[in-house]
Amino acid sequence: MENKRENSALRSYGQKVLSRFKEFRVSSTMDKIKASVISALGGILVGLIIMMLINFQGVIDFIITLASGKFKFDPNTYIIGSIVQSAPILIAGLSVAFAFRTGLFNIGASGQILVGGITAIYIGHLISLPGPLHFLVALIGAIIAGSIWGGITGTLKAYFNINEVVTSIMLNYVAAHLVKFLSRQKLVFDLFRSQTKMLPKSATIPTLGLDRLFPHSGFDISIFIAILTAILVFIILEKTTLGYQLKAVGYNPLGAKTNGIKYRRNIILSMLIAGALSGLAGGIIYLSGANATQIRVQINIPGEGFDGISVALLATNSPIGVIFSAIFINFITQFGSLVEGASTFKKEISDVIIAVIIYFSALSSITLYYLNVRKRKRLKHNSELNKEGDE
Amino acid sequence: MVEFAVEMLNITKTFGSLVANDDINLQVKKGEIHALLGENGAGKSTLMSILFGLYQPDKGVIKINGQEVKIRNPNDANDLGIGMVHQHFKLVEVFSITENIILGSETTKYGILDLETSKKKIEQMSKEYHLEVDPNAQVSDITVGMQQRVEILKMLYRKADILIFDEPTAVLTPQEIDELMKIIRSFADDGKTIIIITHKLNEIKQIADYCTVLRKGKKIATVDVKKTDISALANMMVGREVSFSVEKTPAKIEEPLLIVENLTFKEHKSNKEILSNVNFSVNKGEIVTIAGVDGNGQSELIKIITGLFTPTSGRVIFKDTDITNTSIIERIEKGMGHIPEDRQKMGLILDYTLAENMILNSYFKEEFSSKGILNKEAMIDYTNRLINRFDIRSSSGSLSIVRGMSGGNQQKAILAREVSRDPDLLIAVQPTRGLDIGAIEYIHKELIAHRDKGKAVLIVSFELDEVLSISDRILVMYNGEIVVSLDASKTNADELGLYMLGAKRGELNGE
């Protein structure tokens, strides 16, 4: 009874603590990198402990197998492959990070990927064009389709104030059913394999011979497209008036509106762009030649859209950070296959590690808080000379 | 030996490099009304937060009734009989007054909430202390004045006998202020100890016994209020001579710039009429102030003029054009400047830098961007010029994140942004709310200078002193209507107060 007294005072205390955490939304780049690296290392460490706890013998076996050389470690598969095949989750991560930076939680990247993917597949089968041009047209089709799908969410939010999390999740299922229907049409469906037909070579991602240079790596130009896209997103967010408006609306919708920035237009634009990025990811996934994913009969919401959320979180929504976090997350996934090949573990162990990393990065504001506490203490020592402060 | 109810000895508190309280001593006798005076950032709130257990001092001792105590959190403060009415009330809007007062110390019967007993107790307390409230009313339906009485009852219900008031008069009408002063005086007569945080000098003179002045985290003096005059208090607080009267020449009124015609506004959901048939105009070369108690439609009126709301009926005419349905940015481009009521939520993007905030409504101009790419150097140059001209202080100049700046400097930043665009009509809602004397003086000067350039200025203010000193013409709003238009030089606070409370209606001369 006693300690329940004066809730209001406690509440105001709570608000003070909360506002202290909010400060870290605008912490320095160096702090963000530190937080991400700490999250990653912490995740790996805890993941390894979990591995040892559930199957200690398995860990020993794994080390022995690798050391004895019985298991052939192919750098093309595990290292080059991890890097070059991270393109889809990299671009999906950009989509999520972009929306985040403008105040929106795009949980519908998966749906946008599917819609983009099916559009790319249709263009691949419907039209015939020479080499890279065919691919390019299919990719642009994917971008436009994803953009429209994201735009639905943006429009519903802008005009009817419907929460984008709800609509984008529901649109994932709408997309899954729509795509299931479209993928079973005669034109694109392969009855014997119960999946969409293989695309003509002209529509697949050019490899520029990189796949032959690094066999088994699945190397094509998608990783370059992804990195260029990251740089483009960085420029839009940091250098352009468009990014300036979008972020202003994201940080403070009422403040932006009061100063004449068009709130609705910017919400829709933001989701159009986030959708376009996911659509691009969809194009990359379904147009890749050698290890192309085909759309199967069962309803399947692609995991890349959700991986994108992890990638964006770990990168604290920085577009350049997304490049590294996507490659890193893909490494962990590949590590799962490696472990499965060389021990009694299942490859899903990598999901456990990724999950721990995500928990760590979700708590990164706290990590940053402690980093800053230490910094403040240091500042305090130096403050004797300089007592001015800012008012 | 004198028995002190509250003693705070050698209190020091630092936040990073900022020394908020530097070796401060505060001693308050039982039954005394003690004012704590200082500018924003002087350390008043920090000191009281320490007494209320929200912060821990780095150094120093607190004694309550002669006993050394440790106040680790507000619960400890409550147990010691310390109560606080915060400047922004902390009530649950959807609860009744009774529920709000007992929240956290509920009376129960067999584990079930016993509202009847509590209600009776509150009714009795309400009579005893002359704090009129209706225990059954819901907080969202009652006036600000009554909300404050609820907060006071909340402290008394918890048997507090050391009462801290943080800027208690900021939201009240003159009549309500008088009432509050009487109540506070009667508490002191009952032997309760009172500490009032304020920067309003005439209130201190009116009610306090002693006054402790803080400046930049240091204690300047504790003085006997009866033996000290207002200007001496002001000088101690600011550290220099302060002019109280706003110096201005008579207005040179030209043709009307803004005309509001038959404006009516109904709330969408409740269909309640917030504004009824409002008519007025603002001319070039004059400062028109809309006075009134908060919540009488001023906020909605300004939102309609600036384009945030669309009226139910009526027209807004600006520079001979009907702008009722044009976008906000078109109005800004047409020459409207807006210092909004809530500087943090409406005026600024707190997570943006000062430079980014300075171009919030002009980023698309050639000066700051070309082909959609922002020119960061131009932004920073421009901001540095404004920083110098308007004396905006922050930790890292144009690249400071605005969230970390003090309230006064945030307001100066908005003022700088709007005034420097040289708008033909400058609208300022509560431009000096929560600011200290120095900053108020500065902002008033800028507003008058803007008028003297032949521009129109429209102000909304709840502070009577401000209304009377800065305006050329005063419009009083009551219950969604403009009840009178007065010549500022021919009226006084008492007359205004009567109009503000709806006790009197007047002529809308010249409208």
Q: What pLDDT score was predicted for residue B229?
A: 85
Looking at CA atoms only, how far is residue A275 from chain B in angstroms? 22
Q: Are B197 and B167 in contact (CB under 8 A)?
A: yes
Element housing B388 (H / E)? helix B376-390
Which stretches of chain A score pLDDT less than 70?
1-27, 289-299, 365, 367, 371-391
Is there a domain that residue A72 lies in?
Answer: no
- Residue A206 forms part of a structural domain: yes
List of chain A residues whose C-beta atoms are within 8 Å of the C-beta of residue B308: 257-258
Helix axes A304-314, A319-342, angle to 10 degrees: 120
pLDDT digits (tens, 9 = 90+) for A267-314: 999 999 999 999 999 999 988 865 556 666 556 788 888 999 999 988
In a domain, A2, yes or no: no
Tell whether B498 is within 8 A of chain A (Cβ). Answer: no
The answer to whether position A9 is within a domain reads no
Residue B510 has a pLDDT of 43
Distance from the Cα of residue B346 to its chain's centroid: 16
Query: Is 0.90 exceeded by the ipTM?
Result: no
Considering only CB atoms, which chain B residues are within 8 Å of A6?
74-75, 77-78, 104-105, 158
Averages of pLDDT over runs of 10 residues in chain B (511 residues) are 84 82 92 87 85 90 91 89 85 88 81 86 88 86 83 89 87 79 90 88 88 89 89 81 71 88 87 89 94 86 94 93 93 94 89 93 91 92 92 84 83 92 93 78 89 93 86 91 89 84 67 42
In a domain, A149, yes or no: yes
In a domain? residue A68? no
In chain A, positions 340-379, which contact chain B (CB-CB < 8 Å)?
A: 376, 379
Instruction: Give the N- to C-terminal CA distance of chain B in Å, as an integer.
Output: 66
A109 part of a folded domain: yes
Question: Distance, in angstroms, between B273 CA and closest chain A CA?
Answer: 23
Strands (E), B225-372: 256-266, 273-283, 287-291, 313-318, 321-322, 336-339, 369-370
Q: What is the pLDDT of residue A375?
A: 61
Alpha-carbon separation of residue A333 from A104, A220, A326 (angstroms)? 27, 19, 11
Contact B308 A257 (CB under 8 A): yes
Domain that residue A135 falls in: 30-56+82-369
Q: Which B residues, 360 through 399, put their C-beta within 8 Å of a C-beta on chain A?
A: 360-361, 363-364, 369, 372-374, 393-395
Residue given tokens 């955490």 in the structure block: A21
Dist. CA A32–CA A43, nearest whole Å: 16
Task: Give the C-alpha separation, A356 to A41, whole Å.
Answer: 10
| Number of structural domains chain A divides into | 1
Residue A384: what pLDDT? 35
Provide, as residue numbers in chain B, all residues whose Cβ is less than 8 Å from the Cβ of A390. 18, 393-395, 400, 404-406, 409
User: A45 vs chain B: nearest CA distance in angstroms?
Assistant: 33
∠ CA A156-A160-A163 to the nearest 5 degrees? Answer: 65
Which tens digits make up the pLDDT trace of A58-100?
A: 888 888 887 887 777 777 777 888 898 899 999 999 999 999 9
d(CA A114, CA A278): 9
Q: Does residue A202 lie in a domain region?
A: yes
Give me the CATH number covering residue A145.
1.10.3470
State residue B312's pLDDT score.
Answer: 93
- Closest residue to A258, CB basis, from B77, B308, B408: B308
Phi (first) and psi of residue B167, to 5 degrees: 45, 60
Kindly report the pTM of this predicted structure.
Answer: 0.75
